[in-house]
Amino acid sequence: MTLKTRFSEMVGIEYPIVQGGMMWVGRAELAAAVSNAGGLGIITALTQPSPDDLRKEIERCRTMTDKPFGVNLTILPSVTPPPYAEYRKAIIDMGITVVETAGHNPQEHVEDFKAHGVKVIHKCTAVRHALSAERMGADAISIDGFECAGHPGEDDIPGLILIPAAANKVKIPMIASGGFGDGRGLVAALALGAEGINMGTRFCATKEAPIHDNIKQLLVDHDERDTNLIFRSLRNTGRVAKTERSDEVVEILKNPEATFQDVHHLVKGADGRTALETGDAKAGLVWAGQVQGLINDIPSCDELISRIVEEAEAIIADRLPSFTR
């Protein structure tokens, strides 16, 4: 049996399983491990302090794998934005063939990547955004349901509806994001019209993830209820692991007069990095999705991907046919 799809063939991977970009987590050791296991590993560009540091990280990844891997470039509105064009140039100059874009209006980036032969996967949280990215020239869509870690948008549409709704309209290959962590999810995504899955939180709980063991164990100990939705009142919803710090953010923002400045000291990205690196979940936000309820161990990336593929193949071969007998 083969699990090859249009998406896996387009990016040249064995299995249609992608490790999405994650701030402070998407480093060379994790990306290489995922790619070596047959999936698509992704380095997060803005985790690196400068475009030159990104070049070095790409070189470091190439010392660990000869398989395809990609780079994530997330574009967010900011008073002092990072030098996106320089990061983009570094990605192109280093011969990266697959990029995951996300965030605000990626058009100039998509156009430049496409002009240099780079395949672009754009991450979206709504069908209308997916169609816009398709018109813009994206080669594939990663459609992100409400279950996800990070920013699920403001429509609150879970994957069971969002994936087939997008599949009804999007013509380019599409992978499903948000809530995926095992072979059952992969089969479900394929049945709903996607051509692969994108996992973030699940890959955080692997041996190669470059974060503290305490945080990995936190993900194992949590269940599907252990997330908080923050910034709801600010129309910039984010899903994070339920911790003392994220509880405090939620409590402060219950006040209808509260602004971002009232929680700024609790949500700084640098503090999130401290939490991941020291293992102290009180030190900063830990971004995690509802898939925590499906995480029960901390395998290697190879063990995880092999397990997902074997489980998916068994469901397709053994379980599904029984319903037609």
Tell me the per-residue pLDDT of 293-312, one tens digit each, with 9 for 90 and over: 999 999 999 999 999 999 99
Q: Is the pTM of this model over 0.75?
A: yes
* DSSP sequence for 238-288: EEEE--HHHHHHHHHTTSTT--GGGTHHHH-HHHHHHHHHH--TTSS----
Distance CA 166, CA 126 (A): 8
Distance CA 159, CA 179 (A): 8
Cα angle for residues 143, 147, 151 (degrees, 5° grid) = 70
State the average pLDDT for the chain. 96
Q: Where are the alpha helices (DSSP H) in the chain?
A: 6-11, 28-36, 51-62, 84-93, 107-115, 127-136, 159-167, 183-192, 201-204, 213-221, 244-252, 264-267, 269-278, 301-314, 320-322
Residue 252, number of CB atoms within 10 A of its CB: 14
In sequence order, the β-bridge partners of residue 74 are 102
What are the φ/ψ torsions at residue 230 (nearest 5 degrees)? -110, 165
What are the φ/ψ torsions at residue 183 (nearest 5 degrees)? -65, -30
> What is the architecture, at CATH level 2, of domain 6-208+300-322?
Alpha-Beta Barrel (3.20)
Distance CA 181, CA 222 (A): 14
Q: Where are the alpha helices (DSSP H) in 116-263?
A: 127-136, 159-167, 183-192, 201-204, 213-221, 244-252
Q: What does the pLDDT read at residue 325?
A: 62
Tell me the per-residue pLDDT of 145-192, one tens digit each, with 9 for 90 and over: 999 999 999 999 999 999 999 999 999 999 999 999 999 999 999 999
Tell me the per-residue pLDDT of 1-31, one tens digit each, with 9 for 90 and over: 568 999 999 999 999 999 999 999 999 999 9
Contact 40, 34 (CB under 8 A): yes
Chain region(s) in the chain for CATH 3.20.20.70: 6-208+300-322
Taking the CA atoms of 131, 136, 142 and 148 in sequence, report the sign of the dihedral they define: negative
Greatest C-alpha distance within the chain: 61
SS3 content of the chain, % helix, strand, coil (to 5): 45, 15, 40
CA distances from 19 to 6, 169, 173, 313 (A): 18, 25, 17, 20
> Any idea what DSSP says for residue 145?
-
Type of residue at 322 = S
Using alpha carbons, select from 16, 94, 23 the residue that is nearest to residue 54. Answer: 94
Tell me the per-residue pLDDT of 73-126, one tens digit each, with 9 for 90 and over: 999 877 789 999 999 999 999 999 999 999 988 899 999 999 999 999 999 999
Distance CA 293, CA 68 (A): 30
Tell me the per-residue pLDDT of 42-68, one tens digit each, with 9 for 90 and over: 999 999 999 999 999 999 999 999 999
